[in-house]
């Protein structure tokens, strides 16, 4: 029973976005809800069937076959009621034509093409920017409403309302499922890259109570980024820069937790556990990203990650260079989190008091557990134990992660 639930959740992450992209291409973007209904029916059928008959040898193939059958059933009903859309009617004049067309769309290269089309449709300029990213995270990436809310530093109600409004907009707006060219390409690509970035971040520092790292989300972000880089229109330096950043970060997965699942901070990580092949991939894509005149925020973040990846020890990290890069990042992409990370770098480069001085003005981050921990760490380095403890205790109240709670408690005990 537990195995079925775990596998179903895994497949939802990996396959629902693919199926949704294919079926939305089949039904048309305005009928996105119809495609979503079929995907949900398919996943529900898998849960019910596998509980009774066991997990099939090829669960992904089983899902695709079931989805195809459900689509055929739906199209038969719609034909009977003269409800086939113009988008489908010219292609699906016979049962055999329906079957062949659907089978074709579920071929691997067609699935990838459907996902690219879906990503760019979600980022159509008629849709509000935040709604675009929310739609990608929900449809193609399978994030839950709470996960999306965390990514936007928002709440569930706001995200639900945003999705409701954007679905209405989709139904009333003629949006084609295609990869645009010319002036339409870059603004949409920026939204897609941001969605992939947020997806990776949710996996890398998960908000799930029992999991610090959700590799499935990080792997999905890497897969979607690679998909973009393989397309001739989107193989741009900023795409390579984002891939570089994600590979550098992913290289540290095995070192970020010990055998008991406790967090191991960067300063104490066993660098022998860092994955050399992933670091090599990060360096490769950073080199690819350097081809051109553009410097995006992903370029700078990847460069920062490269300084960490190449440092022999934590003490040998070039914090002055990292501080400089954060200052540049603040100029092109100002945000509270960039200022926060710059303050951390200042603290390591110039001493804890300088770090505190840079952190204290960021009062809008007072309800962020990482902000409170950072202040606690710097005060602890200055032997101001009471102040450090107060910040750690505030951080404990703010975190939902068991691993983070345990780490902060150890910091309190160490005082």
**Averaged pLDDT of the chain:** 86
Angle in degrees, 0-180, between the axes of helices 2-27 and 129-139, rounded to the nearest 10: 130
Q: Is pLDDT above 80 for 303?
A: yes
Neighbouring-strand partners of residue 36: none
Segments making up each domain of the chain, as ranges: 1-106, 239-248+274-310
Looking at per-residue pLDDT, the higher value among 303 and 101 belongs to 303
Helix (H/G/I), strand (E/B), else coil: 107: coil
Residues 106-143 as b/e (b if ≥16 CB within 10 A, e otherwise) read: beeeebbbbbbbbbbbbbbeebeebbbbbbbbbbbbbb
pLDDT tens-digit profile of 41-100?
A: 988 888 888 888 888 888 888 988 998 888 888 877 765 444 444 555 555 566 677 778
**Around Cβ 96, how many Cβ atoms within 10 Å?**
9
pLDDT tens-digit profile of 342-351?
A: 999 999 999 9
Per-residue DSSP letter, 388: H
Taking residues 391-395, what's their average pLDDT? 96
Q: Give CA separation, 145 vs 15, 218, 256, 276, 283, in Å.
A: 18, 18, 27, 35, 34
Helix (H/G/I), strand (E/B), else coil: 28: coil
Tokens 């937790």 belong to 257
The two tokens of residue 266 are 């960067």
85-89, 108-112, 125-129: least confidently modelled range: 85-89
**Around Cβ 412, how many Cβ atoms within 10 Å?**
16
Measure the CA–CA gap between 405 and 385, rounded to whole angstroms: 19
């Amino acid at each position: 029973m537990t195995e079925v639930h775990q596998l179903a959740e895994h497949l939802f992450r990996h396959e629902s976005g693919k199926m949704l992209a294919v079926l939305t291409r089949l039904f048309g973007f305005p009928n996105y809800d119809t495609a979503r209904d079929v995907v949900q029916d398919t996943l529900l059928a898998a849960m019910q069937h596998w509980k009774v008959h066991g997990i099939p040898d090829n669960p992904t193939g089983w899902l695709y076959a079931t989805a195809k059958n459900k689509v055929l059933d739906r199209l038969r009903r719609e034909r009977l009621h003269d409800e086939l859309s113009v988008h489908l009617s010219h292609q699906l004049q016979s049962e055999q034509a329906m079957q062949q067309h659907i089978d074709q769309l579920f071929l691997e290269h067609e699935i990838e093409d459907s996902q690219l089309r879906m990503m760019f449709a979600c980022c159509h300029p008629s849709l509000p920017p935040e709604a675009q990213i929310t739609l990608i995270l929900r449809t193609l990436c399978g994030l839950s409403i709470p996960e999306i809310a965390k990514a936007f530093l928002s709440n569930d109600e706001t995200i639900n309302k945003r999705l409701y409004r954007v679905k209405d907009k989709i139904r009333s707006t003629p949006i084609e499922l295609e990869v645009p060219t010319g002036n339409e390409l870059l603004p949409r690509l920026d939204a897609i890259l941001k969605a992939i970035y947020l997806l990776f971040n949710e996996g890398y520092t998960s908000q799930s109570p029992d999991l610090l790292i959700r590799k499935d989300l990080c792997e999905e972000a890497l897969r979607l980024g690679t998909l973009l880089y393989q397309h001739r229109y989107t193989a741009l330096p900023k795409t390579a820069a984002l891939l570089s950043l994600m590979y550098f970060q992913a290289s540290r997965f095995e070192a970020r937790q010990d055998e008991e699942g406790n967090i191991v901070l960067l300063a104490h990580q066993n660098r022998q556990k860092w994955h050399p092949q992933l670091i090599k991939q990060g360096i490769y894509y950073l080199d690819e990203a350097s081809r051109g005149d553009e410097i995006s925020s992903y370029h700078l973040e990847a460069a920062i990650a490269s300084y960490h990846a190449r440092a022999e020890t934590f003490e040998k990290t070039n914090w002055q260079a990292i501080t400089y890069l954060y200052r540049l990042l603040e100029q092109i992409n100002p945000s509270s989190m960039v200022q926060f990370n710059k303050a951390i770098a200042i603290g390591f480069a110039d001493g804890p008091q300088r770090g505190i001085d840079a952190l204290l003005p960021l009062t809008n981050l007072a309800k962020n557990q990482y902000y409170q921990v950072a202040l606690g760490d710097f005060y602890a380095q200055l032997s101001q134990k009471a102040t450090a403890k107060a910040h750690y205790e505030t951080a404990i109240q703010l975190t939902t992660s068991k691993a983070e709670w345990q780490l902060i408690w150890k910091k309190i005990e160490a005082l």
